[in-house]
Structure 1
Amino acid sequence: MAAIKRSAGLVVMRQFDDQWRCLVLRAYRNWDFPKGQPQPGEEPLQTALRETTEETGLSGLELPWGEDYRETEPYSKGKVARLYLALSRQGDVSLPVSAELGRPEHHESRWTSFDRAQELLPSRFWPILQWAQDVVAAGECLKLPAAGNDT
């Protein structure tokens, strides 16, 4: 049996006009959440935060919903992605050039509704998307200051 290849990332949330949106990224025709492989000795949450900053330019991400996570079922020859739920209150998404690739890792970013994210993302992410939607809805008491549109 092949070893499981683990990655960690974030479902990044932000409010626009009192509506929650999640950040999705596109590489070629594939939509995904910001995520990546851990560095030696790095904990999964550290990986998730580092990779999200590297892939989107967003920093100052918060974890107001705690450090709970969900994982995908194994896919593509044993890959498993662990995703945490984070809040981005400010900052524009940028797609910086990856030093390894010599180009941005992704071609596009979008802040989308949960319904639109489900249309874009592969089905392996649907349970995670539902979990994120449930957690955010249960935590509406957060009532964060609305951000401006940066789509």
Structure 2
Amino acid sequence: MIVANRSAGLVVVRWIEDEWRCLVLRAYRNWDLPKGRPEPGEALLETALRETAEETGLSALAMPWGDDYRETEPYAKGKVARFYIALSREGQVSLPLSAELGRPEHHEFRWVSFAAALELLPPRFGPILQWAQTVVEASTKQYTQ
């Protein structure tokens, strides 16, 4: 199925205080994961990495879980968002100015547990977060040593 209205992003995770946390972003009252639309000819994984770097300043991300992904059900006039899982070994998030907006795209970021992310994010992210949590927690010993 080809989806014209598509975006790609990352579930960015870190091991903090003996638990996995994921990065969530807030724009006004809405919580989200880093994501955005692809540029012409750009692969969706490239889009996910670029958008995350642009929105959070995080560019030194590892992809130890590979390029497996999950997609949201269509929402907002048929939009579908694809998400990959990335590991951040650092927590230095910044909210840089968006050249298009002249201000940061987001107002706040938090590193939260998967349970807290499920509460903050819209329900369409539930299956994405549950998948990411299962994948990440299955490899805890490997990536927290």
**Shorter-chain TM-score category?**
over 0.9
State the 1:91 CA deviation: 4.3
The 5 Å alignment of 1:109-128 reads 109-128=109-128
Q: Deviations over 1:100-132 (max 9, x none)?
A: 000000010000001100000000000000000
State the 1:6 CA deviation: 0.2
Over the matched positions of the two proteins, sequence identity in percent amounts to: 71
Is 1:93 equivalent to 2:90 in the alignment?
A: no
State the 1:143 CA deviation: 3.3
Structure 2 counterpart of 1:93, one-letter code: V
Between the aligned partners of 2:124 and 2:92, the Cα distance in structure 1 is 27
Are the counterparts in 2 of residues 35 and 52 from structure 1 also a CA contact under 8 Å?
Answer: yes
State the 1:142 CA deviation: 1.6
Aligned to 1:7, the other structure's residue is in SS state strand
Misfit runs of 4+, over 4 Å? none
**Aligned positions, number:** 143
Is 1:13 equivalent to 2:29 in the alignment?
A: no
Look up the match of 1:148: none
State the 1:137 CA deviation: 1.3
Is 1:136 equivalent to 2:97 in the alignment?
A: no
Structure 2 counterpart of 1:80, one-letter code: V
Gaps of 5+ in 1: 146-151
Structure 2 counterpart of 1:88, one-letter code: S
Look up the match of 2:76: 76
State the TM-score, normalized to the length of structure 2: 0.95
Look up the match of 1:46: 46
State the 1:66 CA deviation: 1.1
State the TM-score, normalized to the length of structure 1: 0.92
Between the aligned partners of 1:32 and 1:89, the Cα distance in structure 2 is 21
Are the counterparts in 2 of residues 65 and 139 from structure 1 also a CA contact under 8 Å?
Answer: no
